[in-house]
Structure 1
Amino acid sequence: MCEDESHLNRRALLVTGAATALTLGSVSFASSAGAAEERRGGKETKTVRGTLPTGSPDFVYLPVEIPRGVQQLHVSYTYEKPPVPAGTAGNALDIGVFDERGTALGGKGFRGWSGGARTEFFIRADDATPGYLPGPVWAGTWNIALGPYTVAPQGLPYEVTITLTYGAPGTTPKPKYPPERAKGRGRAWYRGDCHLHTWYSDGRRTPAEIGALARAAGLDFINSSDHNTQSAHAHWSEVAGDDLLVLLGEEITTRNGHVLALGTDPGTFVDWRYRARDNRFGHYARQIRRSGGLVVPAHPHATCVGCNWKFGFGEADAVEVWNGAFSPEDEVAISEWDNALVAAARGGRRWTPAMGNSDAHRDPDPVGRPQTVVLADDLTRDAIQDGIRAGRSYLTESKGIELTFGASGGKGRHAGIGERLRVDADDPVTVRLDVKGVPGCTIRFITDQGVLFTSPVIPESGVGSAEWRTTASYAAYVRAEVRAAAVAPPLPGPMKALTNPIFLGR
């Protein structure tokens, strides 16, 4: 075993393609042993130690010179977590790796990322740690990516151990991806949860376990959304079936917020190594769309470090306003979304539909709570995405809640969720919501003026309805909410269901 000390010296570091990334000195195996034939079947290990100070760049790369004849790369790491004063962030260090093709943003060198979920990983041709991509360990300069998520005032002492195993490389399996179609019911309402994590990032469930929970939750479709890796894509084919459509994607976890790539082409990797100030998000949003996916900012008002959305919503195809158990963060997200509806209605601009997803990681996180119910022409990737993009959807806490929402005007005109009722400004309009599965709740109608109607409490049967009359001159749009009893009046109670709006007027 060989040990090196590698302390962060800003003057000696090389700026890489990422605006806030720096590169340490190289670790070389190439000259430390004999020819490849002599090393076959053996192992070599080196350990690197260093300390990252507060204010470190977002990413620090440790180059590793890989010689020919390597069968497997194994990396483990540890770091110290000294006590910190109350209210001060302690140490947290993420890890991943890029191969000999380099660390350029959006390049082909990405081979895996586990964030802070694992302390070690391996890569070889026929297998890899979840979160990493199997494939040959070619000779060249690989880069271990360290991500100092937060650094304590005392600094972040770390230790990285690299082990190379020599031998025949083996064969990389050809990935098998899930089909883009399931057995649907034609044009119908389909239930989905598009924010789920498996053990291929920081989740603790296998794809098979997620699939079983999705079926139990009454879901018709799900989206694979592990953090900063597409490594799970090749492991969903056996989970999908006639009754469950599996879309493929990623949760792109930047330092300025998280965004779901929803339903991208199989194997698509979207880079995450940038901040809002780098002016790069638009490029990657376009990449998601070119790959057939939707751009959905996730939990935009989450309070965890780096989770709050800073990129604006101009590139969003939809926005996740309800994430997991309903919380004050969701209340703020819905309020911001509603304000954006007002601006869109006033300016005649495109509006952004709302989504709800579970963000389930591990037991006891429920899958499908909440869920997005989409009106689609069939249970296919394209049809589900079309429904989400058009806002033909509503959000519910669970499969036990069903609703029907519509608006009607003169001459037999009718519009449903996500549509426009084209009536003159003073034509009378009737808005109606029918709901099941919400005992003890109330119905609210919200317009660009705010809440303009609240129903009586729905009886224990859980079945209720409400009608309200208005005009396009009085309400630019109407959307519906179903709320549980208030916990702290006059604030509204927890959300049970939420619709996208119906717009009124020509």
Structure 2
Amino acid sequence: MDRANLRHLGVVASLGMAFAVLPAESASASPSGTAPQAGPGANEEVRVITGRFEPGAPDWGYVPVDIPAGVREIAVRYSYDRPATPPGVPGNALDIGMFDNDGDELGNAAGFRGWSGGARDNFTISRSAATPGYIPGPITPGRWNVILGPYTVAPQGLEWRVEVTLRYGEPGPAFVPHYSPTRISGRGPGWYRGDLHVHSVYSDGKRTPAEVAAAARARQLDFFVSTEHNTQSAHAVWGDYAGPDLLIVTGEEVTTRNGHLVAAGLTPGQWIDWRYRAQDGQLPRFLREIHRSDGVAIAAHPYATCGACDWKFGYEGVDAVEIWNGPWTADDEQAVTLWDGMLREHVQGKGIRRWRPAVGSSDAHREPQIVGLPQTVVEANELSRRAILDGVAEGRSYIAESAEVKLEMSAHNGLFHAGIGERLLALPQSLVGVTVTVAGAPGTTVRLVTDRGEAYTFPVASADPATFTWTTFARDAAYVRAEVRRPNAEAVALSNPIFLGLVHPAQ
């Protein structure tokens, strides 16, 4: 038996997994209570498969399900045991998803039929509809696979049970997706506010798409990116909720066991695989898939404290770093320190060749989490998917806690002028003025930070807006960026840098 078949039977002993697939139990239930039947002539057929994961199991196990002709709907329900564990020892947690008979090889988007992680214990798929997180479409005969992901396994092991119900009959009408437009007409050059990382019921969020869109409008956002965990299923419904006041960009949160990646601006319906770790060397392949669609890859919450959430892949090939995720916390401060260090290495020619802009997003899943806290404010020549993502990738943006907060920053030397994310061409001995204007943030302090550290502070009293200018020589600051903070050091706004001086050879 070849390794692929061994993998599907779950008996890869070298991976430390005991994954016994028992003979299927077939039964059928009918409203009249008649004797059970099996096969295409029956109304339903139920198959039950059980198994076990041991501690140290591989990330993914596959449960094969042979689908005969005539099935109009597949319904899957699963459960697993949750034994008590000592304090500090994780208990059992098991994710679930589905691949169809087109295959489940790494990166095979054609075979992917959905993912719900641990957000729900059942799902259905048919030609006409599917549970949020799953992809409607034909139920084709052949070998499908339920994918199980043991997120954590207790010392006692993890016993699981999967119940697959096959419902026979004529298929319903084909599902018709309604994708959101990629451009809002009549919106020219300006600064546009958006949330690059938002969830709904199409993964583990609790808000419906309508509620997410309403929350975005209430926060005065111009755009947001749909980023469901490991599934593109929500893409097909956002056309119902976009409008002339709101651009909805399709994306995905690629949720690996070594950190999360926001893929913003995917082609509607596009899916990015997540079944790899940093040591597997697969991330560059999927970054190329994102970039082929003109999407932007953002390393999400690099120091998040949830299990497997912190970023371990490095930053080569990544377009931006999410340094502020949700309400300001200590891991955001740590991310700012990381990012500033990356900027210093860049201007010194020691780090990755291209600098990585900073972004902020809410990562909102449910009430009371606030959509648009924080929000990334992007300079773009129009309100379109392409223009917004270009602004993000080029660093022409700042992060603010709300629509009330506005931050402007520019640098000038009498000959040239540069804004956030740009370079001011200046000789080392040139005198440079950096002007900052802050609105909507009384009682805060503006800090100007360069590659040499904090260079200048300016208190924002009751004046609104407040403007000040700081002068320096280009030789004394390779870049300058602004932070607006409360007395307790909580961030209110953070800018991307303005680079000063002639272009560095490393750039």
Match of residue 5 from structure 1: none
> Shift of residue 462 of structure 1?
4.5
* CA root-mean-square deviation: 2.2
Match of residue 184 from structure 2: 182
> Shift of residue 347 of structure 1?
1.4
Q: Could you tell me which amino acid in structure 2 is paired with residue 74 of structure 1?
A: A
Structure 2 residue 392 is matched with structure 1 residue 388: yes
- Residues 19-44 of structure 1 deviation map (CA, whole Å, 9 limit, x = unaligned): 999976486689999895523xx111
- Residues 175-229 of structure 1 deviation map (CA, whole Å, 9 limit, x = unaligned): 1211111135311000010100010000011111111111111111111100000
Match of residue 13 from structure 1: 10
Counterpart of 1:421 (choices 421, 424, 432) is 424
Match of residue 495 from structure 2: 499
Q: Could you tell me which amino acid in structure 1 is paired with residue 129 of structure 2?
A: D
> Shift of residue 465 of structure 1?
2.4
Q: Could you tell me which amino acid in structure 2 is paired with residue 433 of structure 1?
A: V
Verify the 8 A CA contact 1:75 1:122 in the aligned structure 2. Answer: yes
Match of residue 505 from structure 2: none
With normalisation by structure 1, the TM-score equals 0.92
Structure 2 residue 409 is matched with structure 1 residue 405: yes
Unaligned runs of 5+ in 1: 1-8, 487-492
Q: Could you tell me which amino acid in structure 2 is paired with residue 87 of structure 1?
A: G
Structure 2 residue 454 is matched with structure 1 residue 451: yes
> Shift of residue 250 of structure 1?
0.3
- Residues 144-201 of structure 1 deviation map (CA, whole Å, 9 limit, x = unaligned): 1110000111111111111111111222222121111113531100001010001000
Q: Structure 1 296/27 Cα, relative in aligned 2: closer, same or farther at 3 Å?
A: farther
Match of residue 31 from structure 2: none
Counterpart of 2:271 (choices 269, 272, 276) is 269
Verify the 8 A CA contact 1:183 1:243 in the aligned structure 2. Answer: no
- Inter-partner Cα distance in structure 2 for 1:102 and 1:11: 12
- Inter-partner Cα distance in structure 1 for 2:492 and 2:8: 55
Q: Structure 1 154/383 Cα, relative in aligned 2: closer, same or farther at 3 Å?
A: same
Structure 2 residue 352 is matched with structure 1 residue 352: no
Verify the 8 A CA contact 1:73 1:124 in the aligned structure 2. Answer: yes
Match of residue 3 from structure 2: none
Q: Could you tell me which amino acid in structure 2 is paired with residue 495 of structure 1?
A: A
Verify the 8 A CA contact 2:430 2:474 in the aligned structure 1. Answer: yes
Match of residue 98 from structure 2: 97
Q: Structure 1 427/178 Cα, relative in aligned 2: closer, same or farther at 3 Å?
A: same
Task: Report SS of the residue matched to 2:475.
Answer: coil
> Shift of residue 461 of structure 1?
4.4
> Shift of residue 364 of structure 1?
1.0
> Shift of residue 460 of structure 1?
3.1
Structure 2 residue 84 is matched with structure 1 residue 83: yes
Match of residue 124 from structure 2: 122
Match of residue 439 from structure 1: 442
Structure 2 residue 372 is matched with structure 1 residue 368: yes
- Residues 333-372 of structure 1 deviation map (CA, whole Å, 9 limit, x = unaligned): 1111111101111119321100000000011111111000
With normalisation by structure 2, the TM-score equals 0.92
Unaligned runs of 5+ in 2: 1-5, 29-35, 503-507
- Inter-partner Cα distance in structure 1 for 2:241 and 2:23: 41
Q: Structure 1 426/291 Cα, relative in aligned 2: closer, same or farther at 3 Å?
A: same
Task: Report SS of the residue matched to 1:261.
Answer: strand
Q: Could you tell me which amino acid in structure 2 is paired with residue 204 of structure 1?
A: K
Verify the 8 A CA contact 2:449 2:481 in the aligned structure 1. Answer: yes
- Inter-partner Cα distance in structure 2 for 1:471 and 1:204: 52
Q: Structure 1 153/35 Cα, relative in aligned 2: closer, same or farther at 3 Å?
A: closer
- Residues 58-97 of structure 1 deviation map (CA, whole Å, 9 limit, x = unaligned): 0011101111111111111111111111111111000001
Task: Report SS of the residue matched to 1:410.
Answer: coil
Verify the 8 A CA contact 1:20 1:59 in the aligned structure 2. Answer: no
- Inter-partner Cα distance in structure 1 for 2:219 and 2:26: 53
> Shift of residue 50 of structure 1?
2.1
Give aligned pairs, total: 486
- Inter-partner Cα distance in structure 1 for 2:77 and 2:375: 38
Q: Structure 1 194/184 Cα, relative in aligned 2: closer, same or farther at 3 Å?
A: farther
Verify the 8 A CA contact 1:26 1:62 in the aligned structure 2. Answer: no
Verify the 8 A CA contact 2:27 2:38 in the aligned structure 1. Answer: no
- Inter-partner Cα distance in structure 2 for 1:21 and 1:398: 48
- Inter-partner Cα distance in structure 1 for 2:128 and 2:18: 31
> Shift of residue 305 of structure 1?
1.1
Q: Structure 1 220/198 Cα, relative in aligned 2: closer, same or farther at 3 Å?
A: same
Match of residue 306 from structure 2: 304
Match of residue 465 from structure 1: 467
Task: Report SS of the residue matched to 2:348.
Answer: helix
